[in-house]
C-alpha cells in the first residue's frame, strides 16, 4: 500500500514538475525579449535575474527527468536489488538517474545563489531610485553579496565533485566496490559531500536572511515614495519566498540526511513528500521569478526606473493643424510640467 502511494506521489510530482518546466521555459524566453535593462542603473539586477532563471529552468528539467528515470529504472529492475552489472539498459538507466540527481541540484544551487544576488541588487536599485545616487554602504553590501555568492558557488562545485567521485567508486564500477579500502573511501566521500552541502545550506540561509533584512530596511526607508512602492512590495515577497525554500531545504536535509555515519539508516520520507518537495522547493522559486518578470516588464508607471522613459504624446488638432492630421502626428517626448495661465 505504501509503495503504491509512493508511486502515485512520484507520478503527481513529475506531472507538476513538467507543468512548471513548460511554464518556466515560456516565461524565461519572454523575459529575454521583454525585460530589458535599457542602460538604466536601477535595472542592472535583470542580468543576474536572467542567469538565475536560466539555471532554474535547467534544474527543473533535470529533476523532472530524474523522476522519470527513477520510475523507469524501478519498472525495469522490478523488486530485485540494485545491481550495476545488470543488463546494459538497466545499467545505463541507473547511471542517467544518478547523474540527473547530481547535476539537477547543482543548477538549483546556482539558481538560488544568483537569485539572492539579484534581489540584493534590486534592493540597492530601489534605494538608488529613491535617493537619486548610490551610496558607499550599498556598494559594500553588493561586494559582500558577490563574495558570498562566490563562496556558495565554490561549495556547490565541491559537493558536486565529491558526489561524482563517490558514485564512480561506489556504484559506477562493480570491481572497485569489492576493494574494502575503496569502499571505505566511498563512504568518506559521501560523508564529506553531505557535510559540505549542509554547510553551504547554512550559509545560504544566513545570506537569505541578510537580504530580507536589507529589503525590509529599504521598504521602511522608501515607504513615503510612491514611485518605488510596487518594487519594494515585490522585493519583500520574493525574499520571503526564497527564505521559505531555503528553510525547507535546511529542514529536509537535517531530517532525512545523516551527517555523521553515512551507513546509519536515515529517516524515510513519507509517501506524499515528493509532492511536498515540489510545492515547497520548486514553486517558491518559480513564483519569485514570475513576480520579478512582472516587475521587469513594467514601464514607467509601477516599474523601477532611474530616468524618465519616453512616452507617446498625441497632438490634437489645433491652430495650424488639419483635422485629418490630428491622429497621425506622434512624437516621443519627455513630460514636462507647464505653468497654468
**Residue 70 falls within a domain, yes or no?**
yes
Tally of domains in the chain: 1
- Mean pLDDT (10-residue bins), the chain, 341 residues: 68 91 96 80 87 96 90 68 58 84 94 96 85 81 94 96 86 60 77 92 96 93 80 93 96 84 67 86 96 82 50 41 37 41 39
- The answer to whether position 234 is within a domain reads yes
**Angle formed at CA 215 by CA 212 and CA 216, multiple of 5 degrees:** 90
Helix/strand/coil for 268: coil
pLDDT on residue 105 = 93
pLDDT score, position 262: 65
Q: What is the pLDDT of residue 21?
A: 95
Residue 278 lies in a domain: yes
Q: Is residue 313 one of the residues assigned to a domain?
A: no
Work out whether the CA dihedral 238, 282, 273, 243 comes out positive or negative: negative
| Residue 282: domain span | 2-306
Look at residue 206 and tell me if it is in a domain: yes
Neighbours of 120 (CB within 10 A): 27
pLDDT at 41: 74
In a domain, 341, yes or no: no
Q: What is the C-alpha end-to-end distance of the chain, expressed in Å?
A: 83
What pTM did the predictor assign? 0.82
Give the domain CATH number at 254.
1.20.1070.10
Neighbours of 181 (CB within 10 A): 7
Q: Concatenated DSSP letters for 143-161?
A: HHHHHHHHHHHHHHHHHHH
Query: Is 300 inside any structural domain?
Result: yes
Domain assignment present for 318: no
Amino acid at each position: 500500500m505504501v509503495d503504491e502511494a509512493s508511486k502515485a506521489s512520484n507520478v503527481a510530482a513529475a506531472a507538476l514538475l513538467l507543468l512548471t518546466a513548460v511554464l518556466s521555459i515560456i516565461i524565461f524566453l519572454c523575459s529575454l525579449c521583454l525585460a530589458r535593462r535599457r542602460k538604466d542603473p536601477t535595472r542592472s539586477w535583470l542580468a543576474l535575474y536572467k542567469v538565475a532563471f536560466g539555471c532554474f529552468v535547467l534544474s527543473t528539467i533535470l529533476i523532472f527527468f530524474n523522476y522519470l528515470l527513477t520510475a523507469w529504472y524501478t519498472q525495469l529492475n522490478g523488486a530485485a536489488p540494485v545491481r550495476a552489472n545488470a543488463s546494459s539498459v538497466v545499467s545505463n538507466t541507473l547511471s542517467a538517474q544518478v547523474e540527473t540527481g547530481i547535476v539537477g541540484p547543482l543548477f538549483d544551487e546556482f539558481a538560488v545563489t544568483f537569485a539572492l544576488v539579484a534581489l540584493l541588487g534590486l534592493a540597492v536599485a530601489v534605494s538608488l531610485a529613491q535617493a537619486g545616487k548610490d551610496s558607499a554602504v550599498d556598494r559594500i553590501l553588493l561586494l559582500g553579496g558577490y563574495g558570498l555568492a562566490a563562496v556558495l558557488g565554490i561549495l556547490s562545485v565541491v559537493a558536486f565533485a565529491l558526489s561524482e567521485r563517490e558514485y564512480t567508486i561506489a556504484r559506477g564500477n562493480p570491481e572497485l566496490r569489492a576493494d574494502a579500502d575503496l569502499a571505505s573511501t566511498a563512504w568518506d566521500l559521501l560523508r564529506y559531500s553531505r557535510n559540505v552541502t549542509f554547510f553551504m545550506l547554512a550559509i545560504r540561509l544566513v545570506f537569505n536572511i541578510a537580504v530580507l533584512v536589507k529589503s525590509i530596511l529599504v521598504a521602511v526607508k522608501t515607504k513615503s515614495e510612491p514611485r518605488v512602492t510596487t518594487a519594494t512590495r515585490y522585493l519583500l515577497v520574493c525574499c520571503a519566498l526564497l527564505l521559505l525554500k531555503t528553510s525547507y531545504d535546511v529542514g529536509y536535509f537535517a531530517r532525512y540526511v545523516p551527517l555523521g555515519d553515512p551507513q546509519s539508516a536515515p529517516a524515510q520520507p513519507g509517501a506524499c513528500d515528493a509532492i511536498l518537495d515540489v510545492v515547497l522547493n520548486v514553486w517558491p522559486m518559480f513564483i519569485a521569478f514570475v513576480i520579478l518578470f512582472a516587475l521587469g516588464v513594467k514601464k514607467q508607471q509601477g516599474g523601477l526606473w532611474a530616468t524618465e522613459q519616453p512616452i507617446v504624446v498625441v497632438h490634437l488638432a489645433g491652430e495650424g493643424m488639419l483635422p485629418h492630421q490630428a491622429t497621425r502626428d506622434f512624437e516621443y517626448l519627455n513630460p514636462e510640467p507647464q505653468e497654468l495661465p
